[in-house]
């Protein structure tokens, strides 16, 4: 690890100011992706701006017809939130599937979304529920937020403050874990909120999280595994590595979508 | 049986310090003025070094020195060696390439050390290491053992043609060929035994401390055999005379074979400590461990089995290419030869066997012994062949095994080994009962209703442990004898210290060895200490590997205890004023036969030291005895493992639902520890079968270089094991012990793959059988019928 300066602001405004003064700086929001690459000397931020003491950035709240989660809320706290379990257990299951207890007690929803790892779980939930990412500057629809592998619509100095998830009557997440890392080799989040039907896939695509419009279309008739029986998605555009071929990933998308639908209807 | 004697599941003494963080591992040892070594490693798999410029690095803050291979050569530090000579078929000796501790002129694998920075702190060392400028001329690399011998393949070492180290064989080719020509049935299989990264929990480490006052060197390191390390570092590397070098292997957190070997880093730390006149420490990080710990397995094999119409095995032949990596590690040559081909008879009466092994260099990390070492590879070949033959011939796999079991002992196999005891029918029978194989068909139908393909796989394995009779291994090329030593020191107060040449790195010797002493001397278990891992304390020892600490290490203790009893009886005779021949020793008490006169063990110990009652020079004071025990044969643990698993038809994911292990380890000292060894072994074997696999890309970059890509088995990947035992005593050692450390890792891969292929109806599937691989195989096999 190279030397860096360490800052612990207590307000979002201070944090943004520190980022502006440290163009090579990075926000620390759990650090499970950032710290390992720093330790391996693959990243060299001049400053770390730790968000853990910033006020008002944690908690899970039901606000009208949305669940609003502070960006610095740890995975374990989201997974165990009674509010969330009551209104949308399908979303609570997403952080519950991340990593191991140590990771879940450090990692945060904002950190995960801002990093947009193509195998991360939360992006599927955001896209699969049509969440709104609320920053210190604006509100961004999930459909516009995830712009590709490790890339987002966030601008320089922009900090995610909270994420607002509309409550969906039916939703579920199915994940096939990467055997080594425990990330999603493929993860599928499905939801139905009135006429809005979403199928979002993480892990599989070579360009990060994406929606399966053909499945969504087919599910408009009936939100049921039967509606997409026999359907598949093309292997082109799927990731290829030693752990899975594009064909296998494409196949898993359909399998997991059916399983998620069954779970959402259960 | 006493509560702490032989056969009791005594809780492990050593665990209190381990689980409370009070273990003393090499990295925990600190010396005043300690510096840190940071290695500059090659990012290329194969390259010429045009030049190394250390001038900028030397000027960095905190840097004490930067050293390269050129200085190592100037100081006449010898190369690392492989200590087991193998001769090729044509009689020529194996071709061992030079292996300097720091690369000289050329690098041959990613991670090859080219320079070392000695700095005040690790961070300063790393900063400086980045300033070492190495000008490489990158060369094409070869990583696949099956391609290493091809015409036009990159040549790794000068004068070693086609990267071929040896072309060895064992057995009678013409007998085998004749048997195959006459056979009713031949089963053929192509097998890849996947390369594994050992991943001991504690990474390797070395701390070297040169004392300029005495000219003595001390090395703390993560070694399974500190005396052998000292011998090699003295005699072959020429670091220091043996009596001027002390090697201490303190608490060591797992080895699995990977810490048997002498590695470049400890040599460099010793050398550097003398140069900079300060202690030098290096602790591997996990990334370095992946790149530089000796890997395991990596065989490519074509194997064939000939059978008659009744399923009687007539012959077996195998051709194996073994990847030894970029350099020959300490015992690498023996693993794919005498630890492999000698076990190809399995538990079966096979009249003739012929095996050819080519060992090759590739641009990958060195490969050497890893839990089982050669024997898992052999078991996999035999047990896969038997299973496939049974299916092809329409014979129940258990029955085909039964028809071929060796039932009379001793049994001389056609491949050197003389099995001395065993009952293979007993372990199979017990395993069939525990696994409820009778109820399998019903369970399979039930699983099918849930979209699962259920499969059952056997592995009736054998291994040769208790390594090894020195004369036998000497005749096969070993550079050392494989006996063990023990010294039993009885203190004046009657407590006992046992100094053993065995080395514990997770096995629980402090407990089991104390149980033996407690039982034998009739003294409390708490009054016994086990001392190991320090060449200044223990006179000599061959260390721990090959499941040898019980059969060989404890046998040495037994012999020393016998001598203690003889001497103690002499002391008691003086005390009790009786003839030595009338003294009996039982339950910690010396008695005069036919009288009520007695002396407790502690009183005898005290009298041995005060010597007040001894008359004249007839008896020396003191009570301390030493023994060197050389086994008369290998031991042959054997057993039957049965794996029952489900394959998810939609995803290919394998879920092991039942595991039965029935093992014959001979005498068992501590059943709980033995069971733990079996559990750990199975976990590693299941890891190999389903998850683990070191993958290099064609340029020689390790793709599976971290825990994010290399899959280690986790607790939730495994079911609760059903463990059973049968027992035939090993006749070759006084306790009748056979060894249990490797059995699980040897038995289990074949059981898993036999079960998967049974489930999905294919003949073969490569390891690791990941969900992706199983699903792909399912797509190729005929449409599976789930119901």
Q: For residue range B480-535, what is the model confidence (pLDDT) as tens digits?
A: 999 999 999 999 999 999 999 999 999 999 999 999 999 999 999 999 999 999 99
**Residues counted in chain B:** 787
- Which residues between 710 and 739 in chain B have a beta carbon less than 8 angstroms from any beta carbon of chain A? 710-712
Predicted local confidence at residue B112, as pLDDT: 98
The alpha carbon of A33 is separated from its chain's Cα centroid by a whole number of angstroms, namely 14
Q: Per-residue confidence at B197, pLDDT binned at 50, 70, 90?
A: very high
The token pair at B192 is 């890849």
- The Cα–Cα gap between B434 and B445 comes to 20
The CA angle B381-B383-B384, to the nearest 5 degrees, is: 65
3-state secondary structure of A18: helix
Distance of CA B29 to the CA centre of its chain: 26
Whether the predicted pLDDT of B786 surpasses 50: no
Consecutive H or E run containing B642: strand B638-648
**Residue (of B626, B625, B623, B615) closest to B493 by Cα position:** B623
Do residue B709 and residue A180 have CB atoms under 8 angstroms apart?
yes
Computed on alpha carbons and rounded to an integer, the radius of gyration of chain A in Å comes to 18
B776: closest chain A residue by CA = A248
Nearest alpha carbon to residue B496 among B625, B618, B321: B625
DSSP state of A249: H
Give the minimum alpha-carbon distance from B629 to chain A in angstroms, rounded to a whole number: 44
Contacts of B772 in chain A (CB under 8 A): 243-245, 248
A141 vs A127: CA distance, rounded Å? 9
- pLDDT value of position B787: 37
Of A179, A181, A251, the CB nearest to B770: A179
Counting Cα atoms < 13 Å in the Cβ hemisphere of B58 gives 9
Query: How far is the C-alpha of B622 from the C-alpha of B626, rounded, in Å?
Result: 13
266 residues of chain A, pLDDT tens digit each: 899 999 999 999 999 999 999 999 999 999 999 999 999 999 999 999 999 999 999 999 999 999 999 999 999 999 999 999 999 999 999 999 999 999 999 999 999 999 999 999 999 999 999 999 999 999 999 999 999 999 999 999 999 999 999 999 999 999 999 999 999 999 999 999 999 999 999 999 999 999 999 999 999 999 999 999 999 999 999 999 999 999 999 999 999 999 999 999 99
What is the three-class DSSP state of B599? strand
Q: Looking at residues B638-666, what average pLDDT do you find?
A: 98
Kindly state the average pLDDT of the residues B311-325: 98
Q: What is the predicted pLDDT for the residue at A85?
A: 97
Nearest to B131 by CA among B66, B187, B71: B66
Structural domains of chain B sorted by starting position, each given as residue range(s) with its CATH number in brackets: 17-139+201-254+259-292 (3.90.1170.50), 299-467+633-780 (3.30.365.10), 483-629 (3.30.365.10)
Question: Across residues B336-349, what is the average pLDDT?
Answer: 98
**Structure confidence at residue B785 (pLDDT):** 47
At residue B1 the predicted structure's pLDDT band, cuts being 50, 70 and 90, is low
Euclidean distance between CA atoms B726 and B730, whole angstroms: 13
| pLDDT tens-place string over residues B434-461 | 999 999 999 999 999 999 999 999 999 9
CA nearest B648 in A: which residue?
Answer: A255
Q: Which residues of chain A are within 8 Å of residue B130 when distances are taken between CB atoms?
A: 41
Interchain proximity A243–B126, CB inside 8 Å: no
Cβ contacts of B102-105, under 8 Å, gap ≥ 24: B102/B67, B102/B68, B102/B69, B102/B72, B102/B264, B102/B268, B103/B42, B103/B49, B103/B69, B104/B69, B104/B70, B104/B72, B104/B73, B105/B48, B105/B49, B105/B69
How far is the C-alpha of B511 from the C-alpha of A36, rounded, in Å?
Answer: 39
Q: B418: which residues sit within 8 A by CB, 6+ positions away?
A: B410, B411, B412, B633
Bridge partner list, B163: none
Q: Which residues pair with B281 in a beta bridge?
A: B36, B207
Option in A242, A244, A251 nearest B703 (CB): A242
Write the pLDDT tens digit of every residue in B370-420: 999 999 999 999 999 999 999 999 999 999 999 999 999 999 999 999 999
pLDDT at res. B505 = 94
What's the rounded Cα separation, in Å, for the pair B252 and B204?
Answer: 9
Which residue of chain B comes nearest to A185, CA vs CA?
B772
Q: Token pair for residue B380?
A: 């996999």
- Residues 6+ away with beta carbon under 8 Å from B637: B462, B463, B465, B547, B663, B664, B665, B666, B738, B739, B740, B743
For residue B616, the tally of other CB atoms under 10 A from its CB is 5
Residue B665, Cβ density class (10 Å: 0-12 exposed, 13-18 middle, ≥19 buried): buried
Contacts of A182 (CB under 8 A, 6+ apart): A98, A99, A100
Show contacts of B467-472: CB within 8 Å, 24+ apart: B467/B545, B467/B546, B467/B547, B467/B548, B467/B552, B467/B634, B468/B546, B468/B548, B468/B631, B468/B634, B469/B630, B469/B631, B469/B632, B469/B633, B469/B634, B470/B630, B471/B630, B472/B634
H helix intervals, B52-121: 55-58, 69-74
Q: Do B691 and A179 touch (CB under 8 A)?
A: yes
Mean pLDDT of B48-59: 98
For residues B458 and B424, what is the distance between their CA atoms, to the nearest angstrom? 13
Percent of chain B with pLDDT over 70: 99
Give the mean model confidence (pLDDT) for residues B114-142.
98
Distance of CA A31 to the CA centre of its chain: 15
Query: Is the pLDDT at B472 greater than 50, yes or no?
Result: yes
B684 burial type by CB count under 10 A (0-12 exposed, 13-18 middle, 19+ buried): buried
Kindly state the DSSP code that residue A243 receives in the 8-state scheme: T
Architecture of domain A60-265 in this structure? 2-Layer Sandwich (3.30)
Q: Which residue in B287, B650, B772 is closest to A244 by CB distance?
A: B772
Cα A25 from Cα A67, distance rounded (Å): 31
Q: Residue B618 — pLDDT band, cuts 50, 70, 90?
A: confident
- Please, are residues A164 and A132 in contact by the beta-carbon 8 Å criterion? yes
Residue ranges of domains in chain A: 5-50, 60-265
Q: Give CA–CA dist B726/B422, Å, rounded.
A: 9
Mean pLDDT of B320-342: 98
Pick the CATH number of A5-50 from 3.40.367.20, 3.30.43.10, 3.40.630.30, 3.40.50.1950: 3.30.43.10
**Contact (CB<8Å) B710/A180:** yes
Contact A248 B772 (CB under 8 A): yes
Longest dimension (CA), chain A: 57
Peptide bond into B685 cis (omega under 30): no
What is the value of ipTM here, to two decimals?
Answer: 0.95
CA distance B751 to B361: 31
Tell me the pLDDT band of B782, cut-offs 50, 70 and 90. Answer: low
pLDDT tens track for B505-520:
999 999 999 999 999 9
Is the separation of the CB atoms in B690 and B752 below 8 Å? Answer: yes
User: Which among B254, B208, B267 has a CA at the least distance from the CA of B81?
Assistant: B267
Supply φ then ψ for residue B734, to 5 degrees: -60, -30
How far apart are the CA of A252 and the nearest CA of chain B, in angstroms? Answer: 7
Whether B708 and A180 lie within 8 Å, measured CB to CB = yes
Share of chain A above pLDDT 90, in %: 99
Burial class (CB in 10 A: 0-12, 13-18, 19+), B586: exposed
Structure confidence at residue B646 as a pLDDT band (50, 70, 90):
very high
Per-residue pLDDT band at B783 (split at 50, 70, 90): low
* pLDDT at A107 (0 to 100): 97
Our CA-based measurement puts residue A102 at a distance from the nearest CA of chain B, in whole angstroms, of 15
Task: Return the number of other C-beta atoms located less than 10 Å from residue B71's C-beta.
Answer: 18
Q: What is the mean pLDDT of residues B684-704?
A: 98
| Residue B544: per-residue pLDDT | 93
């Amino acid at each position: 690890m190279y030397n860096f300066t360490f800052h612990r602001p207590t307000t979002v405004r201070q944090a943004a100011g520190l980022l502006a003064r440290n163009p090579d700086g990075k926000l620390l929001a759990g650090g499970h992706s950032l710290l390992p690459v720093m330790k391996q000397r693959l990243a060299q931020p001049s400053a770390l701006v730790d968000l853990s003491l910033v006020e008002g950035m944690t908690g899970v709240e039901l606000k009208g017809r949305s669940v609003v989660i502070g960006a610095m809320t740890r995975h374990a706290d989201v997974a165990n939130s009674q509010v969330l379990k009551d209104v949308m257990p399908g979303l609570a299951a997403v952080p519950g599937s991340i990593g191991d207890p140590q990771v879940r007690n450090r990692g945060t929803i904002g950190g995960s979304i801002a990093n947009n790892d193509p195998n991360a779980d939360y992006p599927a939930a955001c896209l699969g529920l049509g969440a709104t990412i609320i920053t210190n500057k604006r509100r961004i629809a999930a459909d516009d937020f995830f712009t590709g592998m490790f890339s987002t619509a966030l601008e320089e100095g922009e900090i995610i403050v909270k994420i607002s998830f509309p409550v969906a009557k039916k939703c579920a997440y199915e994940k096939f874990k990467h055997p080594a890392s425990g990330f999603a080799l493929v993860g599928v989040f499905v939801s139905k909120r009135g006429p809005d039907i979403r199928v979002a896939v993480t892990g599989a695509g070579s360009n990060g999280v994406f929606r399966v419009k053909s499945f969504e279309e087919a599910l408009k008739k009936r939100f049921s595994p039967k509606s997409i029986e026999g359907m598949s998605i093309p292997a082109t555009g799927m990731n290829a590595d030693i752990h899975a071929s594009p064909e296998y990933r494409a196949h898993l998308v359909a399998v997991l979508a059916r399983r998620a639908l069954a779970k959402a209807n259960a | 049986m006493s509560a702490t004697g032989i056969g009791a599941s005594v809780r492990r003494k050593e665990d209190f310090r381990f689980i409370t963080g009070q273990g003393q591992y090499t990295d925990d040892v600190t010396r005043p003025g300690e510096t840190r070594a940071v290695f500059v490693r090659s990012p290329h798999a194969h390259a010429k070094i045009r030049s190394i410029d250390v001038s900028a690095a030397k000027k960095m803050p905190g840097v004490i020195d930067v050293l390269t291979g050129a200085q190592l050569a100037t100081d006449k530090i010898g190369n690392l060696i492989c200590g087991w000579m193998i001769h090729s078929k044509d009689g020529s000796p194996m071709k061992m390439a030079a292996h300097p501790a720091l690369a000289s002129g050329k690098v041959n694998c990613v991670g090859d050390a080219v320079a070392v920075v000695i700095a005040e702190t690790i961070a300063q060392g790393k900063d400086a290491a980045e300033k070492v400028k190495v000008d490489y001329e990158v060369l094409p690399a070869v990583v696949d053992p099956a391609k290493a011998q091809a015409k036009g393949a990159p040549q790794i070492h000068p004068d070693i043609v086609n990267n071929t180290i040896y072309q060895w064989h064992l057995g009678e080719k013409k007998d085998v060929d004749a048997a195959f020509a006459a056979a009713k049935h031949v089963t053929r299989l192509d097998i890849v035994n996947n390369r594994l990264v050992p991943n001991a929990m504690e990474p390797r480490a070395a701390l070297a401390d040169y004392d300029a006052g005495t000219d003595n060197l001390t090395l703390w390191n993560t070694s399974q055999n500190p005396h052998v390390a000292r011998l090699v570092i003295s005699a072959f590397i020429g670091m220091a005379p043996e009596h001027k070098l002390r090697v201490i292997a303190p608490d060591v957190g797992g080895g699995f074979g990977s810490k048997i070997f002498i590695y470049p880093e400890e040599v460099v730390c010793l050398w550097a400590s003398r140069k900079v006149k300060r202690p030098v420490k290096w602790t591997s990080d996990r990334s370095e461990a992946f790149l530089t710990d000796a890997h395991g397995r990596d065989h490519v094999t074509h194997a064939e089995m000939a059978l008659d119409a009744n399923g009687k095995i007539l012959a077996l032949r195998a051709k194996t290419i073994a990847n030894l990596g970029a350099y020959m590690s300490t015992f690498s040559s023996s693993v794919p030869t005498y630890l492999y081909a000698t076990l190809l008879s399995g538990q079966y009466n096979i009249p003739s066997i012929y095996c050819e092994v080519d060992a090759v260099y590739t641009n990958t990390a060195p490969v050497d012994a890893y839990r089982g070492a050669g024997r898992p590879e052999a078991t996999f070949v035999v047990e896969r062949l038997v299973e496939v033959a049974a299916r092809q011939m329409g014979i129940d796999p258990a029955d085909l095994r039964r028809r071929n079991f060796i039932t009379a002992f001793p049994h001389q196999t056609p491949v050197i080994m003389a099995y001395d005891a065993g009952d293979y029918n007993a372990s199979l029978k017990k395993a069939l009962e525990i696994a409820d194989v009778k109820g399998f068909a019903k369970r399979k139908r039930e699983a099918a209703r849930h979209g699962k393909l259920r499969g059952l796989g056997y592995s009736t394995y054998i291994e040769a442990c208790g390594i090894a009779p020195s004369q036998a291994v000497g005749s096969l090329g070993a550079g050392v004898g494989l006996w063990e030593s023990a010294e039993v020191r009885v203190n004046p107060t009657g407590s006992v210290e046992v100094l053993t040449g065995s080395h514990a790195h997770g096995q629980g010797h402090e407990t089991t060895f104390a149980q033996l002493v407690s039982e034998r001397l009739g003294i409390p278990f708490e009054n016994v200490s086990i001392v190991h891992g320090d060449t200044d304390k223990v006179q000599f020892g061959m260390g721990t590997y090959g499941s040898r600490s019980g059969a060989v290490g404890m046998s040495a203790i037994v012999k020393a205890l016998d001598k203690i009893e003889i001497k103690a009886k002499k002391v008691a005779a003086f005390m009790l004023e009786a003839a030595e021949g009338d003294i009996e020793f039982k339950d910690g008490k010396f008695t005069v036969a036919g009288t009520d006169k007695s002396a407790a063990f502690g009183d005898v110990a005290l009298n041995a030291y005060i010597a007040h009652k001894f008359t004249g020079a007839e008896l020396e004071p003191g009570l301390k005895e030493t023994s060197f025990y050389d086994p008369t044969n290998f031991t042959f643990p054997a057993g039957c493992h049965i794996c029952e698993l489900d394959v998810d038809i939609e995803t290919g994911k394998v879920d092991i639902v039942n595991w039965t292990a029935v093992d014959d380890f001979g005498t068992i000292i501590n059943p709980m520890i033995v069971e733990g060894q079996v559990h750990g072994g199975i976990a590693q074997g299941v890891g190999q079968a389903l998850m683990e696999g070191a993958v290099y890309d064609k340029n020689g970059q390790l793709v599976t270089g971290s825990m994010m890509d290399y899959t280690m088995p986790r607790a939730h990947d495994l079911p609760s094991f059903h463990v059973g035992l049968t027992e035939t005593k090993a006749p070759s050692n006084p306790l009748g012990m056979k060894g249990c450390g490797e059995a699980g890792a040897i038995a289990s891969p074949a059981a898993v793959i036999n079960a998967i292929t049974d489930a999905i109806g294919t003949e073969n599937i490569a390891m690791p059988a990941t969900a992706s691989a199983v699903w792909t195989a399912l797509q190729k096999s005929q449409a599976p019928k789930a119901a």
